[in-house]
């Protein structure tokens, strides 16, 4: 009965949150470090992909964002064959064609990219100067304000999951990647990290309500989560599930975020630890200042559905 009551409260709060979206104002983002987060894009402009791309460009005209973090599956369904694959045009260049979206894009690989030629995804930066993929995993640090910094880690999650390593016919490049080398790299970067805010971003979520194989999350919880918890990461942001989820779990101070699809979404229900969930398509804004770190979950029209907020600890 207690669990049923808790589920009812989650469902009610989710409906209320979704039923009352609000406009994201320019004033909220003024004098802050802002960037877009998108993933699960590649639908050749169909469904909500093109309208969302246009809305991102329109918001960029008003606010001015630093860059776009693209968290995998820019290409459905079989990845790309080469840097000259027509999918680069139909999934990306002709869709994100708004002049204000000619900013840096920092991508990572999703499971669908791993069905194709992953080296072509890495090499596309030689064709498009806004495609700033620095490796299969990489890190950046930015100064938000004087003495206040933001550390971002872009990681490659498919090689950390046994399911993909074992399905070499479907994901031929996954088993070629050195899992331990990446985990050691993540640990080493976070060990010397002194940033005010730290955000790790991968394609696969650590926790989520989904019909996808539980082993995906279990492998990340076993291999990746202990490293993130040890080093006090603020947020872990992922995609893959095609809906919005904000989850908090026992024995962890990390905000676990699932970012929705920027083209076609799936239904979602709350589970234990769910703070918010929504089946809306959309895109997100991550915004940092000297006092807080915010993650705005937006619907396809750019309205705020939910905000994940971290306050600077004194």
- Residues 6+ away with beta carbon under 8 Å from 6: none
Which residues belong to the annotated binding site for Fe cation?
40, 73, 111, 203, 240, 242
Q: DSSP for the chain, please give it.
A: -HHHHHHHHHHHHHHHHHHS-EE--HHHHTTSEEEEEE-S--STTTTTHHHHHHHHHHHHHHS--S-EEE-S-SS-SS--SSTT-THIIIIIITTS--GGG-S-EEE---TTGGGS-HHHHHHGGGT-TTB---SSSEEEEEEEETTEEEEEEE---GGGSHHHHH-TTTSTTGGGS-HHHHHHHHHHHHHH---SEEEEE-SS-SS---SS-HHHHHHHHHHTHHHHHHTT-SEEEE-SSSSEEEE--TT--PEEEEPPPSS--------TTEEEEE---EEEEEEE-SSEEEEEEEETTSEEEEEEEEEPP-
Which residues belong to the annotated binding site?
40, 73, 111, 203, 240, 242
Contact 272, 265 (CB under 8 A): no
Q: Which of 280, 282, 273 is nearest to 302 (CA)?
A: 282
């Amino acid at each position: 009965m207690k669990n049923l009551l808790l589920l009812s409260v989650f469902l009610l709060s989710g409906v209320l949150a979704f039923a009352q979206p609000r406009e994201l104002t320019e004033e909220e983002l003024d004098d802050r470090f802002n960037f877009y987060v998108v993933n699960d894009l590649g639908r050749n402009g169909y469904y909500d992909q093109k309208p969302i791309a246009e809305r991102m460009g329109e918001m960029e005209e008003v606010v001015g964002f630093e860059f776009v973090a693209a968290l995998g599956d820019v290409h459905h369904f079989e990845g790309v064959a080469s840097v000259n694959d027509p999918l680069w045009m139909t999934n990306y260049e002709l869709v994100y064609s708004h002049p204000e979206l000619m900013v840096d894009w920092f991508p990572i690989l999703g499971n669908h990219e791993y069905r194709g030629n992953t080296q072509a995804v890495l090499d596309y930066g030689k064709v498009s100067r806004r495609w700033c993929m620095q490796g299969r995993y990489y890190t950046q640090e930015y100064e938000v304000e004087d003495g206040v910094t933001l550390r971002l880690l872009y990681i490659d999650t498919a090689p950390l999951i046994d399911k993909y390593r074992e399905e070499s016919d479907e994901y031929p490049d996954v088993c070629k990647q050195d899992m331990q080398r990446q985990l050691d790299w993540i640990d080493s970067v976070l060990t010397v990290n002194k940033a005010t805010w730290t955000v790790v971003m991968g394609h696969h979520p650590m926790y989520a309500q989904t019909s996808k194989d539980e082993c995906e999350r279990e492998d990340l919880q076993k291999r990746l989560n202990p490293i993130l918890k040890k080093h006090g990461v603020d947020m872990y942001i992922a995609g893959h599930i095609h809906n919005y989820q904000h989850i908090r779990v026992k024995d962890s101070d990390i905000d676990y975020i699932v970012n929705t699809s920027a083209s076609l979404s799936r239904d979602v229900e709350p589970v234990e630890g769910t703070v918010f969930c929504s089946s809306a398509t959309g895109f997100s804004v991550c915004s940092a200042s000297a006092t807080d770190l915010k993650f705005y979950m937006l619907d396809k029209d750019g309205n705020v559905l939910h905000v994940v907020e971290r306050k600077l600890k004194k």
